[in-house]
Amino acid sequence: MEIVWQTPANPPEPQDYIFRNGRRLVRPYYFEFISHVKNRWAGKTVVDFFAHEFKGRPYDYYVSAVNCGRIRVDGEMVPVSYILKPSQKISHFLHRHEPPVLAFDVSVILQEPDVVTVCKPPTVPVHPCGQYRKSTVVGILQAEHGLAPLFPVHRLDRLVSGLLILARTSSKAEIFRQQIEGGMVKKQYIAKVIGIFPENEVVINVNIDYNAREGRSTAEEGNPCSDSPSKGKPASTKFTRIGTNGRHSLVLCEPITGRTHQIRVHLQYVGHPIANDSLYLSEQGVNRSSGGTTADRAAANSCLNSEADLVCPREYEEECREDFSIDPMCTHCPGLAPKGYGGDEEGLWLHCVRYSGPGWVYECPYPHWAILL
């Protein structure tokens, strides 16, 4: 089988994408993953290292990958008993399957000589990260609009939608960065929350402590009587109710600081979490959300769902074979998506609508869920 390896230098192209059942998928491709041996890895065999650090594939796979040269050390084939040394380069050539995202377009709102603004769809990351490379805002804009290079001025979480500003030069991105760090940029989001939000303006000044292991933040009130220092970072958000139907409220959210999940945590803190935010909903909120749908469905939990068309069951196997070449060593083939990813993830009801700074304003239309019936 002839293999064409892809590197970051290979730009995404329109034919890389496959649309199925409301999801955007990427035609699987070959890619070289590179890491360098850390001191704590040194002294292990190359197979034991992979089996311990990357448990998503079985031990036998790593044995086969080393034997056939898909795993190499310093560019050379090595035996399975090879002992790793500090700072050595490890290459893992594999058949990459990207997780699915919702099949929304990345619509261009405004295109200027040095700035592009777009409406980012939910579930799509801003730039390459983790298992995503081509199904990103930057990748899709390059493939479908020929826009490159692009430098994201700010970030939106993968599940969040709305206004995204991208500079077309590094110098313009630096100007935006200085303005943001200097506190000269005002950000506005809207959120659909549980219950009747207070009519008067609400300002929350509560520290936020982010737990990277759990992937979530918590509100942390300071205790003046405690000698133990607060682990959280200062965070401030202003909330203004736009409207309510008695069951849900639409709220304007203006973060003054920029902490991880700040808006989501502060809304939970005031007792009005985002209505489909499973990560921060109370038990009462889960029962009142939109059918119990979840916005933060982790890959590990998604495997509890039935394997939908995304993973290419037997009746679709021939169709998948037409979409891409099946790799006999790949632990995800013949599926389009990596195993364990279900097809029911939705976006969070949190949407960026406006950024403004010295002499400039950029806006994004409201999403469909912003209507209160």
Catalytic residues: 157
Beta bridge partner(s), residue 189: 253, 352
- The DSSP result for 267-306, as a single string, is HHHTT--BTT-TTT--HHHHHHSSTT--S---HHHHTTS-
Q: Are 253 and 236 in contact (CB under 8 A)?
A: no
Sheet holding 23-26, edge to edge: 17-20, 23-26, 101-102
Assign residue 22 a region: left if phi > 0, alpha if psi is -120 to 50, beta otherwise?
A: left
Question: Three-state SS for 262?
Answer: helix
State which amino acid sits at residue 143. A
E strands, 49-185, are 71-73, 89-96, 101-102, 107-111, 115-120, 151-152, 161-167
